[in-house]
C-alpha cells in the first residue's frame, strides 16, 4: 500500500474535513477493488469532497504534490478504470448526490455527479411529473451521474433515447489544471463553440472531474409490453432484431441472450426457464407508448420468421419477472469466476456471424474457457464474457478484440477503454486520432494527474507520482 505523505493528507483534510480523508487500509481497500474483482489496486488515501469548490481545491493539492487521482462514483465500471491501479489518490464523489431543479417546463434536471441513476429517475418522476431519465442500466442503484457520463454509459434504452452523451444539456467539471467549467443553463440549442459536455462524455476521468450535469428528461410511457422470444439460432434472432427495429417504432429495449447464460441465471436465482421449450437464442423486447403497444408488438412479432416460442405480457410483475432472465446475467456470470469482460459492438449485418464465430475464436486460444454472450442487440452490442482463464492471461482478449476490429466493430461499445483495453485502442483509432486525443489531454490536464493509467495511458511508473510531460 503506498503511504500517504503526511503534509499531503493534512492539506486534503483542511479542505474536506478530517472525517472525509481515509488512509486506513481497512477503509480504503473497498475503493481499490473493482466490481468484478479482476482489478485490485492500492491507494494512499480516499478523499470525499462535498462541493465543486472542494473538488477544485483537492485537484490543486494533487498538482502541487504531483499526486495522480482517480475519480470514483459507484465503482460499477467494468474495465478497471475507476480503481487506483498505480497508487492514485481516490476522489470519491458519493457525498455530492443532490438532484435538484426538476424543470417540468423544459423537461430537465440538474444532478450532482455522485447521484445514482436510480436517484435521478426517482427525482425526475416525483410528484407524478410524467417525466423520467432515459438512461437505465442494471447497475442503476449504484452507478452515478458522473460515472455514467465519464464512461458515456449506454444501457437498456439506447435504441429509443440514445446514450448518456445524448442526454447532456450542460456540465460542470473541474479540469486537470484545477479550473472549474460550469455550463448548466440547459439550452437545447446552444452552438457557442466546443461542446465540453460532449467531450467529457466518455473521457473516463482523464480530462476533468465531473461535478454536476444538466440532463434531459423524457416523458414516462404509461403503457408497456414485454415479449420474450425464443429462436433456434443467432441468425434467426438477429434477423428478428432487424425486422423489429423496422416494424415496431414503440420498441424501447431489444436484448439478446443465449441458453447457456439463461441456465446460469436459473441456477443462481432458483428460477424456472421462462418458456415451455429451451431454445438456443432469446430476444427480450420491450415496447412502450402513450397507448397500449401490445397490438403493434404482437403483429411485428407474428411477422418474424424463426420464433420457436414466445411469452408476451403487459402485466407489471410478469414483465419484471421476464426482465430478470436478462438483468441477472452479469451477476450470475461473476459467480462462475472472475470473468474477462469484453464489451464490443459489431455492425448489425455482421453480428450473427460474430456470435457464432466467437466461441470458436476463444476455444482456439483457450479450449478450457467458457463463453457467455448477451447484450443490447438493437445496437449491435455484445458482452463477451469469458470465464475459466487466468485473470492476467490476455491471449483470449487479444484474439476476440482483433476479430471484432476485423469485422469493422468497436472494442468498446459502452464500458469504455479503462485500463483493460488500452493496449488495443489502436485497433479502432488511427495515429492521427490518437494524436488529437493526446493533444486534448495535454491541454486540459497539463500535469497528467487525472486517471493516468487508463485510455491513452503511456507507460506509467508505479507509485503515486503522475507522469509529467503528456
Ligand X SMILES: Cc1cc2nc3c(=O)[nH]c(=O)nc-3n(C[C@H](O)[C@H](O)[C@H](O)COP(=O)(O)OP(=O)(O)OC[C@H]3O[C@@H](n4cnc5c(N)ncnc54)[C@H](O)[C@@H]3O)c2cc1C
Q: Per this entry, what is the length of the chain?
A: 470
What is the maximal distance between C-alpha atoms in the chain? 69
Q: How far apart are CB 294 and ligand X at their closest, in Å?
A: 25
Compute how many residues bind ligand X; rule: CB under 6 A. Answer: 37
DSSP letter string, 21-70: EE--HHHHGGGSB-TTSS-B---S-EE--SSHHHHHHHHHHHHHHTB-EE
Among residues 44, 84, 87, 154, the one that binds ligand X under rule CB under 6 A: 154
Residue 115 or residue 236: which is nearer to ligand X going by CB? 115
x/- map, 191-230, ligand X, by CB under 6 A: -------------xx---xx--------------------
Helix pair 259-269, 329-336: axis angle to 10 deg: 80
d(CA 450, CA 460): 12
Q: What is the radius of gyration, based on Cα positions, of the chain?
A: 22
Q: Which residue is nearest to ligand X (CB)?
A: 147
Residue numbers 72-131 binding ligand X by CB under 6 A? 72-78, 81-82, 93, 113
Of the candidates 251, 298, 263, which has an alpha carbon nearest to the alpha carbon of residue 370?
263
Q: Which of 172, 286, 414, 445 binds ligand X (CB under 6 A)?
A: 414
- Binding-site member from 45, 68, 71, 102 for ligand X (CB under 6 A): 71
**Would you give the DSSP letter of residue 116?**
B
Considering only residues 312 through 371, tell me which ones interact with ligand X, judged by CB under 6 A: 330
Query: Which grid coordinates are listed for 169?
Result: 444539456
Q: What minimum distance in Å lies between the beta carbon of 435 and ligand X?
A: 22
Map residues 273-302 to x or -, x wherever contact with ligand X holds by CB under 6 A: ------------------------------
Half-sphere exposure (Cβ direction) of 297: Cα atoms closer than 13 Å:
27
CB 74 to ligand X: min, Å: 3
Check: CB of residue 188 under 8 Å from CB of residue 110: no
Contact between 381 and 375 under an 8 Å Cβ cutoff? The reply is yes
Candidates 44, 107, 146, 230: give the one binding ligand X (CB under 6 A): 146
138 binds ligand X (CB under 6 A): yes
Residues 195-200: contacts with CB under 8 Å, at least 24 apart = 196/171, 197/149, 197/165, 197/168, 197/169, 197/170, 197/171, 198/165, 198/168, 199/440, 200/149, 200/150, 200/171, 200/173
Which range, of 21-29, 64-72, 268-276, 280-288, touches ligand X by CB under 6 A?
64-72
From 134-142, 226-234, 256-264, 356-364, give the range in contact with ligand X by CB under 6 A: 134-142
373 binds ligand X (CB under 6 A): no
Question: Site residues (CB under 6 A) for ligand X?
Answer: 35, 70-78, 81-82, 93, 113, 137-139, 142-144, 146-148, 150-151, 153-155, 204-205, 209-210, 330, 414-415, 451, 454
Amino acid at each position: 500500500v503506498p503511504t500517504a505523505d503526511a503534509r499531503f493528507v493534512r492539506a486534503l483534510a483542511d479542505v474536506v474535513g478530517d472525517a472525509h480523508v481515509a488512509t486506513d487500509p481497512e477503509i480504503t481497500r473497498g475503493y481499490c477493488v473493482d466490481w468484478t474483482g479482476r482489478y485490485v489496486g492500492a491507494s494512499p488515501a480516499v478523499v470525499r469532497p462535498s462541493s465543486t469548490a472542494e473538488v477544485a481545491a483537492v485537484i490543486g493539492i494533487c498538482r502541487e504534490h504531483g499526486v495522480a487521482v482517480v475519480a470514483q462514483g459507484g465503482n460499477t465500471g467494468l474495465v478497471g478504470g475507476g480503481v487506483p491501479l498505480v497508487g492514485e489518490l481516490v476522489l470519491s464523489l458519493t457525498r455530492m448526490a443532490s438532484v435538484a431543479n426538476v424543470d417540468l417546463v423544459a423537461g430537465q434536471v440538474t444532478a450532482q455527479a455522485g447521484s445514482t441513476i436510480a436517484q435521478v429517475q426517482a427525482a425526475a418522476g416525483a410528484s407524478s411529473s410524467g417525466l423520467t431519465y432515459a438512461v437505465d442500466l442494471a447497475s442503476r442503484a449504484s452507478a452515478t451521474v458522473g460515472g455514467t457520463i465519464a464512461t458515456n454509459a449506454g444501457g437498456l434504452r439506447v435504441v429509443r433515447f440514445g446514450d448518456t452523451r445524448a442526454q447532456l444539456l450542460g456540465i460542470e467539471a473541474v479540469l486537470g489544471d484545477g479550473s472549474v467549467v460550469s455550463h448548466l443553463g440547459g439550452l437545447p440549442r446552444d452552438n457557442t463553440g466546443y461542446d465540453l459536455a460532449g467531450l467529457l462524455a466518455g473521457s473516463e476521468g482523464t480530462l476533468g472531474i465531473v461535478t454536476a450535469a444538466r440532463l434531459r428528461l423524457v416523458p414516462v410511457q404509461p403503457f408497456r409490453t414485454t415479449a420474450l422470444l425464443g429462436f433456434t439460432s443467432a441468425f434467426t434472432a438477429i434477423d428478428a432484431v432487424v425486422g423489429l427495429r423496422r416494424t415496431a417504432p414503440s420498441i424501447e429495449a431489444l436484448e439478446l441472450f443465449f441458453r447457456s447464460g439463461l441456465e446460469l441465471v436459473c441456477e443462481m436465482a432458483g428460477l424456472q426457464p421462462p418458456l415451455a421449450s429451451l431454445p438456443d437464442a432469446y430476444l427480450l423486447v420491450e415496447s412502450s407508448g402513450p397507448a397500449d403497444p401490445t397490438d403493434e408488438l404482437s403483429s411485428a412479432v407474428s411477422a418474424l420468421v424463426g420464433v420457436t416460442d414466445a411469452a408476451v405480457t403487459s402485466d407489471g410483475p410478469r414483465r419484471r419477472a421476464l426482465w430478470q432472465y436478462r438483468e441477472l446475467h452479469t451477476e450470475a456470470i461473476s459467480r462462475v469466476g472472475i470473468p474477462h469482460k469484453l464489451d464490443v459492438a459489431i455492425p448489425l449485418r455482421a453480428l450473427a456471424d460474430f456470435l457464432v464465430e466467437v466461441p470458436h475464436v476463444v476455444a482456439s486460444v483457450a479450449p478450457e474457457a467458457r463463453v457467455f454472450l448477451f447484450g443490447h442487440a438493437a445496437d449491435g452490442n455484445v458482452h463477451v464474457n469469458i470465464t475459466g482463464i487466468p485473470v492476467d492471461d490476455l491471449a483470449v482478449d487479444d484474439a476476440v478484440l482483433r476479430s471484432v476490429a476485423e469485422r469493422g466493430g468497436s472494442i468498446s461499445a459502452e464500458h469504455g477503454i479503462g485500463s483493460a483495453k488500452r493496449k488495443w485502442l489502436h485497433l479502432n483509432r488511427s495515429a492521427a486520432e490518437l494524436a488529437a486525443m493526446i493533444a486534448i489531454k495535454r491541454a486540459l490536464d497539463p500535469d497528467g494527474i487525472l486517471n493516468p493509467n487508463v485510455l491513452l495511458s503511456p507507460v506509467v511508473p508505479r507509485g503515486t507520482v503522475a507522469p509529467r510531460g503528456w
